[in-house]
Amino acid sequence: MSELIFKLSHHGRCATAQIPRHVAQKTTIPSHLLRNDEPLLPEVSELQVVRHFTKLSRANFSIDTQFYPLGSCTMKYNPRGIHQLAMLEGFLNHHPFSLPINSQGYLSCAYELQEILKAVTGMRGVSLTPMAGAQGEFAGVAMIRAYHHARSDLTRTEILVPDAAHGTNPATAAQCGFEVREIPTDKEGNVDLDSLRKVVGPKTAGIMLTNPSTLGVFEQNIEEIASIVHEAGGLLYYDGANLNAILGKVRPGDMGFDVMHINLHKTFATPHGGGGPGGGPVAVSERLVPFLPMPIVAKKEETYYWLTGKECPQTIGRLSAFMGNAGIILRAYMYARMLGKEGMERVAEFATLNANYLLAKLKAAGFTAAYANRRASHEFIITLKIEAKELQITALDVAKRLLDYDFHAPTMYFPLLVPECLLIEPTETESKEVLDAFADALICIVQEAKIKPDLVRTAPHTLSVRRLDEVKAARELDLVYKEK
Amino acid sequence: MPFIPHSANDIKEMLATIDVTSIEQLFEEIPAHLRVKNMPAIPESLTEMELGRLMRSRAEQDSGLLCFIGAGAYEHHIPAAVWHIAGRGEFMTAYTPYQAEASQGTLQLLYEYQTMMASLMALDISNASMYDGATALAEAILMAVRLNRKNKSNRILLPSCVHPFYREVVKTIVTQQGIELVDVPFDEKTGRLSIETLEKMTHEEIAALVIPQPNFLGMLEEVDTLTDWVHAKKALAIAVVNPMAMALLKAPGQWGHAGADIACGEGQPLGVPLSSGGPYYGFLCCKKELARQLPGRVVGRTVDLEGKQGFVLTMQAREQHIRRAKATSNICTNQGLLVAASTIYMSLMGPHGLRQIALISHQNAELLQKKLTAIKGVELVFEGPYFHEFVIRVPRSVEFVLHQLAKSKMQGGFDLSKAYPHLGECLLVCVTETKTAEDIDKFVTALASVLSCEDHSRDKTEKTEHVRTYL
Ligand SMILES: Cc1ncc(COP(=O)(O)O)c(C=O)c1O
């Protein structure tokens, strides 16, 4: 692996071509407000910077270089043309506080994306401002609270969350000041209706669901769940992380959901950047429209403009200093335009075809599907509990060994209720050959576990580092480099 | 089929393997009556060439203006290398580094970032990013309240010289948990906080004071005095700063006797383009004693099986995927790629370069301010030192002035009359290293000509209802 960039530093060196000339060193700022030491930034040449970070990039797996079947994350191809167009000067140098007359290009794209998202979700209002799924969840749950409060219904203090839910769901509910009640899953992967009926009541503000769920199956009782929760006076939140599975096939608005987010960095193919940025627009049914976060783009005659709290006094407020991850919104808009209507339906079709094909191959090879009686959605779970018992290898070992085969590992140990699980999401942009090669790799790894188990248990062997010690990292926190 | 590689034969073979006869059959578990019938609002697909034509015309509509607006988003020169490298597929198309061994590029970069940002703030540790400056401030406030369990206060002093939209975001986020935000007015003469005003706010205990540097009006606060004051009240000092300025100005960890406890802000000035307001990233740093309350991803250095240096996500016991409802935050996806750009930017600039940019931006602002206030009727509103932004009052409606300036391809600044109506017709003007002496003169000439125009009746007619929204 590369040295830290600080080790390349030489006092007095710099990337001269980047630094302004003729700067007077005297200043009128009073000296007690000035800094009199130097921050620890490297002193290196431009070439050293380019080489260092280019080398670092090569120690990453990515969609551009590897199959990346990370379940629940929808790692599909991020079209290059879209990236290039988002980097046009007119978009990059556009200030968020430019006058609306100087912002019609961007505003028109954002407005049209709002309309497209309404159409694919079956909802009545959209705000693009949330900057990731979790912030969309926050907006949604805050709107649920605002809705109840606007009706002087102040006793609803609980949000229901299935035990298979992503961690952001309970964390969001708590961040909005709600208590979280967990609902168990039945053995076919659906929400357990009896348990739901028991906990739902006058304290229920709402329920958060993902559909298809994080177990990779379609929640078959969704209409019944909707009527149970609605009858108790609660609202339904749709976690849109898995929207790719149903895009153009079935819409959350038609299933009875009141509010949802869309992860643009999943379903709408915007690059996830090694952690972010994302985009988490929220879409709502009629009764929640007044509460949407600001700002929203509106249109009058042929002019686009921002709606703010002035026009929408019941809004939950702002969620970002400006108007959300505008560059991501642009990319999602372009992706929607490139796909068009038919393209969007094909997303769900081929994502589902790929998942079911890979599942069928793996089942035929002897792997255990967590929900064998169910049709997979765009992703599915295999459980390695048998292999763990018979061969003493874990899902973690298999995941790490996959890296040696030049495949990114699936999501592991999530959802928490399936032991030794791998959540596999191939996405629609992968070819049959890639899926075949991935299935072969998994089959080989199980063979290796039988013959040379240590090879699997100590994987990876071929990357820039061997298996890393996370326990040491957590015990002996080393979060910043210190010069000796 | 855009981006879908399947041939007809592939489809046939795959369906046979699954043992179904059509793709449609795969959706059999979805109740038929729920299926989508029609989505008329979605247009036909476009090829890349067609899309290019459309997007170039849209980008064209928003381009070609000289920008003197700051107000939290700053135009700086971005070296070509920054986005050439950050835009490499290996950085851009990776997910969060859950598989550490296959993500050493991103992880080492983040460790280097944490080092640089913590040092720029003169604090011990940094997380790997928040969504933006405003949400970073909200999270810093939540952190302060959690840390203040002892005196149980959940009152936060949030001065009105903090960015008005940051204050709105903070309100949206933290009031969900019943946190009380107390507005602290700034001194009308200096545009800064005063201890006398603060003293009046502390009849009840407080959890923290938010200290902006520079503040939203561009002014430099007496950070040492403010930090010592809040510490004497046994509460925390939360700094919200422009990171570019911290190469020149005293950094949060150096304020007063003990230093600010938490520093946060908008990372955009460090290598991130204006891009209509995002994606940017928020930074969040703190003293090491507060580490367990820090929200968001954090990278740590460790070793592999063979004792070789490597990097992993760490302190995960604070996070939503482990701690669920008890997590320090619900954040999952952050703004990693922008951090990559910033890290490359800071490496290119080094301590010297960053300081030079801060200095020249400040000097350009002084130059412009002198020339603008020489125009008849234009006055400087606050006395005292500022960084690279300042407030002027103009003798006509700011809105009219800005629309007139736009006609000469000039963006004159941020209209303060809506966020701070008591200041009158005021404009917040910003200059950075990107403006030459000629640019500055052009702006001065344009403003002088707008203000000398006799036709006052046009002030009114320029105001069409829908372009007047508060932005
Ligand atoms: C099911 C589910 N819900 C919510 C989220 C959170 O979304 P984001 O990371 O965009 O905040 C994720 C992301 O991984 C997810 O998979």
The 10s digit of each residue's pLDDT in A356-411 is: 999 999 999 999 999 999 999 999 999 999 999 999 999 999 999 999 999 999 99
Mean pLDDT of A272-277: 98
Q: Are residues A14 and A89 in the same domain?
A: no
Mean pLDDT of B135-142: 98
* Closest CA in chain B for residue A23: B360
To the nearest whole percent, how much of chain B has pLDDT over 70? 96
Q: Are residues A229 and A122 in the same domain?
A: yes
CATH number at residue B337: 3.40.640.10
Please determine, for residue B468, whether its predicted confidence score (pLDDT) is greater than 60.
no
B324 within a domain of the structure (yes/no): yes
From ligand 1's centre to the CA of B335, what distance in Å?
Answer: 14
CA–CA min distance B8, chain A (Å) = 12
Please determine, for residue B204, whether its predicted confidence score (pLDDT) is greater than 90.
no
Segments forming the whole domain that contains residue A308? 82-339
Q: Are residues A310 and A188 in the same domain?
A: yes
A354 within a domain of the structure (yes/no): yes
From ligand 1's centre to the CA of A150, what distance in Å?
Answer: 29
Q: Shortest CB distance from B2 goes to which of A2, A75, A339? A: A339
Spatial CA neighbour of A239 closest among A167, A287, A294: A167
Cα B337 to chain center, whole Å? 14
Please determine, for residue B471, whether its predicted confidence score (pLDDT) is greater than 70.
no
Q: Are residues A186 and A206 in the same domain?
A: yes
Type of residue found at B2: P
CB contact under 8 A, B6 and A432: yes
B417 within a domain of the structure (yes/no): yes
Please, what is the average pLDDT of chain A?
97
Domain final residue pick, B320, B345, B370: B345
Lowest mean pLDDT among A288-297, B34-43, B272-281, B358-367: B34-43
Q: Are residues B319 and B241 in the same domain?
A: yes
B70 within a domain of the structure (yes/no): no
Alpha helices in A26-126 (DSSP H): 46-57, 80-86, 89-92, 104-121
SS3 (DSSP) at B433: coil
Q: Are residues B334 and B442 in the same domain?
A: no
Mean pLDDT of A114-136: 98
Q: Which of A68, A70, A72 to mutate to test the pocket of ligand 1 (most atoms within 8 A of CB)?
A: A72
Q: Are residues B235 and B114 in the same domain?
A: yes
SS3 (DSSP) at B82: helix
pLDDT tens per residue, range B63-97:
999 999 999 999 999 999 999 999 999 999 999 99
Q: Which helix (H) or strand (E) is A181 found in, with range?
A: strand A179-183
* Closest CA in chain A for residue B471: A97
CATH number at residue A331: 3.40.640.10
Q: Check residue B454 and give its pLDDT.
A: 66
A261 within a domain of the structure (yes/no): yes
A476 within a domain of the structure (yes/no): no
Q: Which helix (H) or strand (E) is B164 found in, with range?
A: helix B164-174
CB contact under 8 A, A464 and B104: yes
Where residue A483 falls among pLDDT bands split at 50, 70, 90?
Answer: confident
pLDDT tens per residue, range A79-101:
999 999 999 999 999 999 999 99
- Number of domains present in the structure of chain B: 3
CB contact under 8 A, B385 and A33: yes
Q: Shortest CB distance from B42 goes to which of A102, A340, A409? A: A340
CB contact under 8 A, A65 and B90: yes
Q: Are residues A297 and A443 in the same domain?
A: no
A47 within a domain of the structure (yes/no): yes
Please determine, for residue A289, whether its predicted confidence score (pLDDT) is greater than 50.
yes
Distance, CA of B130 to CA of B107 (rounded, Å): 16
Q: Are residues A335 and A365 in the same domain?
A: no
Q: Enumerate the residues of chain B whose CB falls inside 8 A of the CB of residue A223.
A: 31, 34
CB contact under 8 A, B134 and A318: yes
Q: Are residues A128 and A222 in the same domain?
A: yes
Strands B236-241 and A296-300: unpaired
B72 within a domain of the structure (yes/no): no
> Hey, what are A123's tokens?
């909802």
CATH number at residue A466: 3.90.1150.10
Distance, CA of B306 to CA of B301 (rounded, Å): 15
Distance, CA of A149 to CA of A147 (rounded, Å): 5
Q: Are residues B182 and B292 in the same domain?
A: yes
Phi, psi of A357 (to 5 degrees): -65, -50
Distance, CA of B458 to CA of B439 (rounded, Å): 27
Please determine, for residue B460, whether its predicted confidence score (pLDDT) is greater than 80.
no
CA–CA min distance B28, chain A (Å) = 8
From ligand 1's centre to the CA of B270, what distance in Å?
Answer: 28
Q: Are residues B378 and B332 in the same domain?
A: no
Q: Are residues A314 and A365 in the same domain?
A: no
Phi, psi of B325 (to 5 degrees): -65, -15
Where residue B40 falls among pLDDT bands split at 50, 70, 90?
Answer: confident
CB-side neighbour CA atoms (13 Å) of A388:
14
Q: Shortest CB distance from B302 goes to which of A88, A176, A469? A: A469
Ligand 1, atom 10, lies closest to the CA of A133
B212 within a domain of the structure (yes/no): yes
Interface test with B, best of A14, A40, A296, A322 (most B CBs within 10 A): A322
Q: Are residues A324 and A383 in the same domain?
A: no
Domain final residue pick, B316, B345, B374: B345
> Hey, what are A146's tokens?
């605002």
Q: Check residue B149 and give its pLDDT.
A: 75
Ligand 1 site, CB within 6 A? A 72-73, 132-134, 166, 168, 210, 214, 239, 241, 263, 278, 280; B 332-333
Ligand 1, atom 8, lies closest to the CA of A133
Distance, CA of B114 to CA of B285 (rounded, Å): 9
Q: Check residue B463 and give its pLDDT.
A: 46
Q: Shortest CB distance from B172 goes to which of A265, A319, A342? A: A319
Question: Ligand 1: which atom is nearest the Cα of residue A132?
Answer: 10
Q: Shortest CB distance from B279 goes to which of A99, A108, A325? A: A325
Q: Shortest CB distance from A357 goes to which of B14, B57, B317? A: B14
Mean pLDDT of B313-319: 94
Q: Are residues B230 and B339 in the same domain?
A: yes
CA–CA min distance B462, chain A (Å) = 12
Written as one string, the DSSP assignment of B84-138 is HHHTSHHHHT--S--SGGGBHHHHHHHHHHHHHHHHHHT-SEE-S-BSSHHHHHH
Q: What is the DSSP letter of A412?
A: E
Q: Are residues B163 and B17 in the same domain?
A: no
Q: Is the ipTM beyond the 0.95 threshold?
A: yes
Please determine, for residue B453, whether its predicted confidence score (pLDDT) is greater than 90.
no
Mean pLDDT of A20-37: 95
Interface test with A, best of B19, B42, B319 (most A CBs within 10 A): B42
- Left if phi > 0, otherwise alpha if psi is -120 to 50, otherwise beta: which for B217? alpha
Q: Are residues A126 and A259 in the same domain?
A: yes
Cβ contact B418:B470 at 8 Å: yes
CA–CA min distance B294, chain A (Å) = 13
What sign for the dihedral angle of Cα A117, A123, A128, A133? negative
A71 within a domain of the structure (yes/no): no
From ligand 1's centre to the CA of B227, what distance in Å?
Answer: 38
B3 within a domain of the structure (yes/no): no
Where residue B153 falls among pLDDT bands split at 50, 70, 90?
Answer: confident
Spatial CA neighbour of B328 closest among B294, B363, B372: B294
Interface test with B, best of A10, A13, A33 (most B CBs within 10 A): A33
A21 within a domain of the structure (yes/no): yes
Q: Check residue B202 and give its pLDDT.
A: 81
Spatial CA neighbour of B295 closest among B255, B331, B349: B331
Domain final residue pick, A292, A309, A339: A339
- Number of domains present in the structure of chain A: 3
Cβ contact A66:A407 at 8 Å: yes
Cβ contact A355:A361 at 8 Å: no
Q: Are residues A212 and A267 in the same domain?
A: yes
A270 within a domain of the structure (yes/no): yes
Please determine, for residue B462, whether its predicted confidence score (pLDDT) is greater than 60.
no
Q: Are residues B142 and B279 in the same domain?
A: yes
**Considering the entire predicted model, what is its pTM?**
0.97
From ligand 1's centre to the CA of A263, what distance in Å?
Answer: 7
From ligand 1's centre to the CA of A343, what distance in Å?
Answer: 24
Cα–Cα–Cα angle for A238, A243, A246, nearest 5°? 115
Please determine, for residue A297, whether its predicted confidence score (pLDDT) is greater than 90.
yes
CATH number at residue B404: 3.90.1150.10
Strands A204-210 and A179-183: unpaired
Question: Which value, to the nearest 10 degrees, does the dihedral of the CA atoms of residues B281, B284, B285, B287 take?
Answer: -170
B129 within a domain of the structure (yes/no): yes
- Left if phi > 0, otherwise alpha if psi is -120 to 50, otherwise beta: which for B307? left
A417 within a domain of the structure (yes/no): yes
Q: Enumerate the residues of chain A whose CB falls inside 8 A of the CB of residue B81.
A: 46, 49-50
Please determine, for residue B173, whether its predicted confidence score (pLDDT) is greater than 60.
yes
* Closest CA in chain B for residue A41: B350
CB-side neighbour CA atoms (13 Å) of B382:
27
Spatial CA neighbour of B51 closest among A448, A388, A82, A454: A82
CB contact under 8 A, A321 and B344: no
Segments forming the whole domain that contains residue B177? 82-345
Where residue B455 falls among pLDDT bands split at 50, 70, 90?
Answer: low
SS3 (DSSP) at B389: strand
Domain final residue pick, B306, B327, B345: B345
